[in-house]
Structure 1
């Protein structure tokens, strides 16, 4: 039975992005292995461009084999990279992402649980391939969410509007009743706002990985937090 306070809450759910919002490989110093671009012998800029801007097939589940995923990205940059190197990269990438999900940064799980205890449902919308999210089940992060929508399982990816609709439907909450929190990659803040959600930029990890993007993305939203523990106070202001 709904609590009396629930009838007066403007927001019913908080929806999160995953990587560079709740956790980040670059902030886990003990993660095993090397960064993929280091193994492949290409620049981090080239790798990031191909990874995020030219690999829709992996993100929508059309490519699921770990080595095929690496090959599809790497050969767009350098088709001479050998199969041995591709295999090595796929193996280390798998280890690193599993570690990343099983070892979230200090305070993240506690912040998520505090939001749930505040009476809000929690959802997740993430652009990932099957290897990046392999370690999700059984992780402490997974226990915090009412639903998790991963692009590789759904065939949609941010900024596709359908992926935000899927999340709100599974939460049984209208988009207008959702706060969306993310670092702003894949135009997610603009897209979530167009879908009806209230977009919030978080720069907790982005400030370290790409500080030049914080000011740029800050212009697209009305709300900007620098730590996840600022979400409940922000909700208090918005509810008021």
Structure 2
């Protein structure tokens, strides 16, 4: 079972705090929060494939883009504030940890395939997800983003199964379901029906809509049970 991260395992409502988190970082860097937010959003395609390097080097590059060259002590503080904001944005959705535990207890090996920047990778070991995910694959580390076929091949290979034996569960950003389908995985859309406006931060939405759809992760358990009961 392979999961997307943001908006799938994380609480979709936490996304509403993204610009406030950027503003807090901007304040420490001494740059205009609006301009900094635009720089962060505009650089997403580059940041998630590691083009700027670490969080520290990314913030240095964003500050320079906004017309400021922060000193090292200011960068130290900005990195701490930025990581704290990023932690709030990856709050687990209410049912996520219990569902991951249920799936592991049921015999599934669990993978992660995330388009993410440096913040997630640097803090992954301290997240509550790390102990529950067997194989995390991050775009930032691979230098590629979904729907690149290599990412799907990589996560399946590290799980020790062919892609055709994997489910892929995500909320539909980055054309991830079409990538999963092309890789031979069985895609499941998490609609986040209980979270109005949750998809507004999703980048590169997927035109392909999977047949299998659930409103939240508890629906995934019902879907799997139904498939099992029906052979």
TM-score normalised by length of structure 2:
0.77
Mapped partners of 1:185, 1:113: distance in 2: 25
Q: Please give the residue correspondences for 1:199-218 in structure 2 after superposition, counting only pairs within 5 Å.
A: 199-204=187-192, 207-210=196-199, 217=206
- In structure 1, the residue matched to 2:42 is 50
Task: Return closer, same or farther for 1:207/1:71 CA change in 2, 3 Å cut-off.
Answer: farther
> 2:85 matched to 1:93?
no
Which of 129, 132, 142 lines up with 1:141 in the alignment? 129
Mapped partners of 1:161, 1:67: distance in 2: 30
Mapped partners of 1:212, 1:151: distance in 2: 17
> 2:93 matched to 1:105?
yes
Mapped partners of 2:107, 2:128: distance in 1: 20
- In structure 1, the residue matched to 2:9 is 22
Task: Return closer, same or farther for 1:127/1:33 CA change in 2, 3 Å cut-off.
Answer: closer
Unaligned runs of 5+ in 1: 1-13
- In structure 1, the residue matched to 2:29 is none
- In structure 2, the residue matched to 1:177 is 165
Mapped partners of 2:13, 2:59: distance in 1: 19
User: What is the aligned-residue RMSD (CA, Å)?
Assistant: 3.3
Mapped partners of 1:80, 1:147: distance in 2: 37
> 2:25 matched to 1:41?
no
Task: Return closer, same or farther for 1:172/1:27 CA change in 2, 3 Å cut-off.
Answer: same
Mapped partners of 1:209, 1:43: distance in 2: 23
Unaligned runs of 5+ in 2: 27-31
> 2:59 matched to 1:70?
yes
| Residues 147, 175 of structure 2: 8 Å contact kept | yes
Superposed CA offset, 1:27-69 (max 9, x none): 289x8993215734227984574143x41xx323343232432
Shift of 1:208: 3.4
TM-score normalised by length of structure 1:
0.75
